[in-house]
Chain A
């Protein structure tokens, strides 16, 4: 870090979880003033519903990024599990078998990713770029490039049913998120995921089976994305071969906004969910205000660079302070 960072404005308030919560609140208040339809029960309910499958992908990505990797297959695994579910339903299997097979499909892809990362030592970003192209093609081959809507009525109606006004899918997301949060913060496995992500060598020397941790996070990411696929088919009642084509990038952005780092070891379930919430509220607001949704894409890019840039600068300042102290 020999060259000086160009902007030397010291920012006192870090964009932490508090900032993210504040951002969401401001967004909610601002939009309910600007658009009369925003703060209606109907709109909020549909917002929760539409968020559900992408929230699952966000949880998957959070787990992987805390462990120091990146999983770009989340979108194609979502499509794959939806396609498997659709095909098995069409073939007349009972729902339990269908769900298990869809989840197994996701787990298998996750396992394959972790194999590439652990044994062939391929950087997870590149490995999942490769598996992503493969899985997406497999989805196209399975569906023959067409939309499949052979889902039973009782299955699809789950996607549009509510408990106490909350969509069931949203409640499921919350339940899984709480479980994942407890796993990450309260168990030894969770601690070792953070440790392996922060410093692999160090974690290895401290007696953590880094390879097992990697197997766990990628396989779990596959399973969580597969759940996302099941939610997708429940909500839409069909599976489109292009489902989740852009979601890996959206999801990575949400996780980074939520406080994770591309270098691993950082991030939280709550932060990531707030990140994806902010993105969806923005998108919803833009469409309610009649603005082009492409502005949302532009803003996503700006926010991504700004937030990660700021986090990095703080780290650099911290590092240079530390090295100065060491030098003295």
Chain B
């Protein structure tokens, strides 16, 4: 028997109720939908959640510092569209991947530096750069799809490869956030920037790093996107900013900064992926998904608010 107090402590961990909810939902779908609990379906769901999931890891870090990054979808699209132009000109795959990642890092650095130097709120900077990146993509590609991607690029988007990559990244960033100085610093920045400055945290440096990571992870999600779909469209990644914010917030990361876990974000994206799969397989009108996602965000945040009020 687990003592009652210990049980209460376990329930205090933010991820546990979410995990229980995910399990109940999967059980519900397993009973109501035939063929839900198959390996094939699991593979499909795992692939679906990976792209937004990897973007959400970067978004978690940004939200932990108290910022926000609305340009993730635009960075993803920019990196793979410009990379795609080189791919169809025949650059080798081992050069294309680093190039795409580097592009993402540069775009992220632009965000970070603008936020740190020009001192514009992150919402405004990334709203602006989102427009700039999206506009630049359309001007450069003239709105054309890039279709003739070589077969060699598809390995990263098939089977369990994207999911394994996702899990590895999850473990790395969870470790970095909990156990490394990097994590302590960004949590310090998010909970109180002034006191972080006074205690000698290089605030500006870490803020820029976080946005660079967000850009790089978005570009990585873009690489998986190329592997999965086999073509590149200028509209790639539209709406990713909202889905990733939703996944992160459902996962218990505070929008005010200073707290959050990558594991929570994983559970958040898993929950959204499960609901999408369930809706599709139950043949419910797909438009309900927006209603459910919106309600989930509101529920998750009010859950946190109520918990915080009770603690005081």
- Residue numbers of A with Cβ under 8 A of B are 1-3, 5-7, 116, 120-123, 125-127, 129-134, 136-138, 140-141, 145, 249, 252-253, 256, 262, 292, 294-298, 300-302, 304-305, 308-309, 312-313, 316
CB-defined interface of B115-129 with A at 8 Å, one 1/0 digit per residue? 011111101110111
Q: Is the CB of A137 within 8 A of B294?
A: yes
Across the A-B interface, give the 10 residue pairs with the lowest CB-CB distance, nearest first. A137-B290, A301-B131, A134-B294, A298-B135, A297-B135, A301-B132, A309-B118, A294-B138, A301-B128, A130-B297
Residue in B closest to A291 when the chains form the complex, CB atoms = B139
Q: Is the CB of B135 within 8 A of A301?
A: yes
Question: Tally of A-B residue pairs with Cβ under 8 A?
Answer: 139
CB-defined interface of B138-160 with A at 8 Å, one 1/0 digit per residue? 11000000000000000000000
User: Is B289's CB within 8 Å of the partner chain A?
Assistant: yes
What are the residues of chain B within 8 A of A133 when measuring CB–CB?
Answer: 242, 246, 290-291, 293-294, 297
Q: Is the CB of B120 within 8 A of A129?
A: no
What are the residues of chain A within 8 A of B139 when measuring CB–CB?
Answer: 292, 294-295, 298
What are the residues of chain B within 8 A of A304 when measuring CB–CB?
Answer: 124, 127-128, 131
Instruction: With A127-B301, A300-B128 given, name 11 new contacts (CB 8 A).
Output: A122-B298, A126-B297, A129-B245, A129-B246, A130-B297, A132-B294, A133-B290, A133-B291, A137-B289, A262-B124, A301-B135
Which residues of B273-297 are within 8 A (CB) of A? 285, 287-291, 293-295, 297
Q: Is the CB of B287 within 8 A of A137?
A: yes
Given contacts A130-B298, A295-B139, contact A5 B119 (CB under 8 A): yes
Q: Is the CB of B249 within 8 A of A126?
A: yes
- Most-contacted residue by chain B among A127, A134, A138 (CB, 10 A): A134
User: Is B130's CB within 8 Å of the partner chain A?
Assistant: yes
Between A and B, 15 residue pairs with Cβ closer than 8 Å are A6-B118, A120-B301, A122-B305, A123-B255, A126-B297, A129-B242, A131-B294, A253-B131, A294-B136, A296-B135, A304-B131, A305-B125, A308-B120, A309-B114, A313-B118
Question: How many chain B residues have a CB neighbour from A under 8 Å?
Answer: 44
- Residue numbers of B with Cβ under 8 A of A are 114, 116-121, 123-125, 127-132, 134-136, 138-139, 197, 203-204, 242, 245-246, 249, 255-256, 285, 287-291, 293-295, 297-298, 301-302, 305
Q: Is the CB of A141 within 8 A of B288?
A: yes
Given contacts A129-B297, A301-B128, contact A309 B120 (CB under 8 A): yes
Q: Is the CB of A120 within 8 A of B119?
A: no
What are the residues of chain A within 8 A of B197 when measuring CB–CB?
Answer: 2
Q: Is the CB of A5 within 8 A of B117?
A: yes
Q: Is the CB of B117 within 8 A of A137?
A: no
State A144–B139 Cα separation when bound (angstroms): 33
What are the residues of chain B within 8 A of A297 when measuring CB–CB?
Answer: 131-132, 134-135, 138
Q: Which of B127, B128, B134, B287 contacts A141 (CB 8 A)?
A: B287
What are the residues of chain A within 8 A of B125 when measuring CB–CB?
Answer: 305
Q: Which of A122, A138, A312 contacts B120 (CB 8 A)?
A: A312
Q: Is the CB of A145 within 8 A of B128?
A: no
Q: Is the CB of A301 within 8 A of B130?
A: yes
State A256–B294 Cα separation when bound (angstroms): 27
Q: Is the CB of A120 within 8 A of B120?
A: no
State A121–B255 Cα separation when bound (angstroms): 12
Q: Is the CB of A126 within 8 A of B128?
A: no
Q: Is the CB of B290 within 8 A of A308?
A: no
State A300–B298 Cα separation when bound (angstroms): 31
Closest Cβ–Cβ distance, residue A275 to chain B (whole Å): 14
Q: Which of A134, A294, A312 contacts B118 (CB 8 A)?
A: A312
Q: Is the CB of A249 within 8 A of B305?
A: no
Q: Is the CB of B297 within 8 A of A125?
A: no
Closest Cβ–Cβ distance, residue A311 to chain B (whole Å): 9
- Most-contacted residue by chain A among B203, B204, B256, B298 (CB, 10 A): B298
Residue in B closest to A310 when the chains form the complex, CB atoms = B118
What are the residues of chain A within 8 A of B118 when measuring CB–CB?
Answer: 5-7, 305, 309, 312-313
Residue in B closest to A141 when the chains form the complex, CB atoms = B287
Residue in B closest to A296 when the chains form the complex, CB atoms = B135
Closest Cβ–Cβ distance, residue A197 to chain B (whole Å): 15
Residue in B closest to A312 when the chains form the complex, CB atoms = B119
Q: Is the CB of B127 within 8 A of A302?
A: no
State A127–B298 Cα separation when bound (angstroms): 7
Given contacts A301-B135, A313-B119, contact A130 B294 (CB under 8 A): yes
Closest Cβ–Cβ distance, residue A69 to chain B (whole Å): 13
State A5–B245 Cα separation when bound (angstroms): 30
What are the residues of chain A within 8 A of B124 when measuring CB–CB?
Answer: 256, 262, 304-305, 308
What are the residues of chain A within 8 A of B249 when measuring CB–CB?
Answer: 126
State A312–B116 Cα separation when bound (angstroms): 12
Residue in A closest to B124 when the chains form the complex, CB atoms = A308
State A316–B134 Cα separation when bound (angstroms): 31
Q: Is the CB of B287 within 8 A of A126?
A: no
Q: Is the CB of A305 within 8 A of B114?
A: yes
What are the residues of chain A within 8 A of B117 when measuring CB–CB?
Answer: 5-7
Residue in A closest to B197 when the chains form the complex, CB atoms = A2
Closest Cβ–Cβ distance, residue B226 to chain A (whole Å): 22
Q: Is the CB of B298 within 8 A of A120?
A: yes
State A193–B132 Cα separation when bound (angstroms): 33
Given contacts A5-B119, A141-B287, A309-B120, contact A294 B301 (CB under 8 A): no
